[in-house]
Amino acid sequence: MASRVRLVFALVIAAVFLDVIDFSIVQVALPSIRTEFLVSLAESQWIVGVYGITMAGFLMLSGRAGDVYGQKKLFVFGVVLFTVASLTGGLAPSLLALVISRAVQGIGAAISSVTALSIFVALFPEGKARNRALGVFIAVLSAGFAAGSISGGVLTMGLGWRSVMFVNVPIGTGVAILSRRFLPEASGRAAIRHLDLAGALTVTSGLMLLVYALTNAASDGFLSIPTLVPLVVALVVLAAFLVIESRSKAPLLPLGFLRRGSVLNANVLALLLTTSMVGPGFILTIYMQQILGYSPLYAGLAFLPPALIFLFAGGWGSSRIVNRFGVRRVLIGSTALVAVGLALLTGISVGGSYLGMLPGILLWSLGASIGLPALSIAALAGTQPGEEGLASGLISTSQRVGFPLGLAVLLTVVGAVDPAPIGADLSASAAAVVMGFRFAFLAAAVLAVVAVALAFRIKEMRGPTEGAAAGDFTPQ
Per-domain residue ranges for the chain? 2-185+193-462
Higher pLDDT, 137 or 424: 137
The mean pLDDT of 1-18, rounded to a whole number, is: 74
- How would you class 249 by CB atoms within 10 Å of its CB: exposed for 0-12, middle for 13-18, buried for 19 or more? exposed
The answer for residues whose C-beta is within 8 angstroms of residue 73's C-beta and 6 or more apart is none
Q: What is the Cα–Cα distance from 28 to 30, expressed in whole angstroms?
A: 6
Instruction: Determine the Cα angle at 384 with ends 378 and 386, to 5°.
Output: 120
Q: Percent of the chain at pLDDT above 90?
A: 14
Q: Which CATH number describes the domain made up of 2-185+193-462?
A: 1.20.1250.20
Average pLDDT of the chain is 79
d(CA 360, CA 355): 10
- pTM comes to 0.73
> Distance (Å, rounded) from C-alpha 231 to C-alpha 212?
8
What amino acid occupies position 399? Q
Which residues are CB-contacts of 366 (< 8 A; sequence separation ≥ 6)?
309, 313, 334, 337, 341
Which residues are CB-neighbours of 422 under 8 A, at least 6 positions away?
40, 41, 42, 218, 219, 411, 414, 415
Distances (CA, A) of 19 to 108, 224, 232, 407: 9, 31, 30, 19
- Dihedral sign computed on CA atoms, order 221, 222, 224, 228: positive
Query: Coil, helix or strand for 381?
Result: coil
Element (H, E) at 96: helix 95-123
CB proximity list for 103: less than 8 A, separation 6 or greater: 50, 51, 53, 54
Contact 406, 242 (CB under 8 A): no
The region of weakest confidence among 362-376, 427-441, 447-461 is 427-441
Q: Does residue 356 carry a pLDDT above 70?
A: yes
Q: What is the pLDDT of residues 226-270, one digit of tens each?
A: 889 999 999 999 999 899 888 887 777 877 777 776 778 888 888
Q: How many angstroms separate the CA atoms of 350 and 407, rounded?
A: 21
